[in-house]
Amino acid sequence: MVTNDKRYADLPHSVRAFLESLDDEGVTTLANILRFYETASREKDSKGATPIEFLLQASPRTLKWLKEARPEEINQLDKTVRLATAGGVIGRFIWWLFVTTLGTFVLVSQFGDAVSKLFKAVK
């Protein structure tokens, strides 16, 4: 960045000095941080909170766990969440299987009763 550049005249001196001191790797790192922040600020979870808002509102216990968590623990947590979701799907399937079985039993018993009444009427 050129020191006499008028485009950046509105920036405070400390910010200009910081930006002028960055080498190529520093500029890349800064761009990656900005891209990460923009992505983390834009995507919302099911409750409408961005990851940044989640971290700002998280309890100290959660933040401590996230700081100390190993990659294996994070992967295990991800697998556990998927297992719990699958358990809910299986639970709903079993519920509807039970309802369908009960309905089929009632239908067959009503049909059997109607058939027996028909045979009694024919005799």
> What's the pTM value of the predicted model, to 2 decimals?
0.42
Tell me: do 44 and 74 sit in the same domain. no
79 with 121, same domain: the answer is yes
Q: In this predicted structure, what is the pLDDT of residue 101?
A: 97
* CA atoms 89, 44, 40, 65: torsion sign: negative
Within a domain: 112: yes
Phi, psi at 91, each rounded to 5°:
-60, -45
Please give the residue range of the domain that contains residue 18: 1-59
Give the position of tokens 């979870």: 45
Residue 7 lies in a domain: yes
Q: Do both 73 and 114 map to the same domain? A: yes
Residue 22: the pLDDT is 85
For residue 23, is it within any domain? yes
Q: Are residues 53 and 73 in the same domain?
A: no
Residue 105 clears pLDDT 90, i.e. is over it: yes
Q: Of 41, 59, 77, which residue is a domain's last?
A: 59
Domain assignment present for 64 = no
Q: Domain end: 27, 59, 91, which one?
A: 59
CA dist 107 → 95, 98, 100, 111, 112 (Å): 18, 14, 10, 6, 9
Whether residue 55 sits in one domain with residue 74: no
pLDDT, tens only, 38-81: 777 777 766 777 777 778 888 999 889 888 889 899 889 889 99
